[in-house]
Amino acid sequence: MAFEVIPALDLAAGRLAVVTADGPAPATAYDGDPVAAASAAIAAGARWLHVVDTDLAFGGRPDNLRVIASIAEMDVRVQTSGGVRTGEQVRAMLEAGARRVVLGSGALADEADALRTIETLSGSIVVGIEVDEGRIRSRGAVPVDLPLAETLGWLVAGGAPGFLVTAVDRVGRLGGPDVGVVKRVVRSGRPVIAAGGVAGLDDLRAIRHAGAVGAVVGRAALEGGLDLARAMTALR
């Protein structure tokens, strides 16, 4: 299986954003145009894009479906996220053109409901695992604080098809990935995509060596610190 380097685009009110400690803020890259950013990533060789609806994540409003639809019409597969908690929200993103939706960590507060969503939509989702200090702690509007191993256990038993594991304390900081956390989730036996801390090619190689099938790259790709085309060529 080819290792996928997946550029991330955060959206707020239809424009590119960066997520700060105080919430989403306007991004200056590509003059804030998410379609231009998507085009550049595709030109560099991206086969997937990770598109985050921060309005849904932090405000509970799916305000970026139109932009998601515009990106999904391009020659790329779209993975969407943004605090997605319900089957209805998953279906709305799929109808907008997403190929895969990340069921957010906030959804895991209700085990029975999360398992129903997984059972119904397992072919179209991965489960988001936001890890902070060894526990699952969501960053969106619905906070959770769950044990990592136990939660992975019931998710795997319930048929979770794969995981997007995010090292919360490393997001946007370019300080390197949390390889230990990646390895812990890989041991679940499900495909794992890793996010948080990627700054360069060596970080991507470390994630691949840890057993992940892909990595989401945010700030390093958007601000030009990582040569996407070179990274994709090297890791395929």
Q: Is the pLDDT of residue 70 over 70?
A: yes
The CATH number of residue 63's host domain is 3.20.20.70
Q: Is the pLDDT of residue 36 over 80?
A: yes
Judged on CB neighbours under 10 Å (0-12, 13-18, 19+), 16 is: buried
Q: pTM of this prediction?
A: 0.96
According to DSSP, the β-strands at 135-137 and 145-147 are antiparallel
- Could you report how far apart the first and last alpha carbons of the chain are, in Å? 9
Q: Is the pLDDT of residue 23 over 80?
A: no
When the pLDDT of each residue in the chain is averaged and rounded to a whole number, the result is: 94
The DSSP bridge partners found for residue 100 are 79
C-beta of residue 208 within 8 angstroms of C-beta of residue 235: yes
Torsion-angle region of 51 (φ positive above 0: left; ψ -120 to 50: alpha; else: beta): beta
Tens digits of residue pLDDT in 149-183 = 999 999 999 999 999 999 998 887 888 899 999 99
> Would you call 131 helix, strand, or coil by DSSP?
strand
Query: d(Cα 90, Cα 87) in Å, to the nearest integer?
Result: 5
Q: What's the Rg (C-alpha) of the chain? A: 16
Q: Is the pLDDT of residue 21 over 70?
A: no
pLDDT at position 38, please?
98
Above pLDDT 90, what percent of the chain?
84
Question: Tokens in use for 148?
Answer: 């990592």
C-beta of residue 86 within 8 angstroms of C-beta of residue 107: yes
Query: d(Cα 137, Cα 142) in Å, to the nearest integer?
Result: 10
C-beta of residue 192 within 8 angstroms of C-beta of residue 162: yes
Q: For the chain, how many structural domains are there in total?
A: 1
Alpha carbon separation from 20 to 80, 139, 173, 203 (Å, rounded): 19, 11, 10, 22
Query: d(Cα 112, Cα 116) in Å, to the nearest integer?
Result: 6
Q: Which domain holds residue 69?
A: 4-235
- Residue among 204, 128, 133, 201 nearest 162 (CA): 128
Above pLDDT 70, what percent of the chain?
98
pLDDT at position 184, please?
97
Residue type, 79: Q
Mean pLDDT score, 59-87: 96
Query: d(Cα 72, Cα 70) in Å, to the nearest integer?
Result: 5
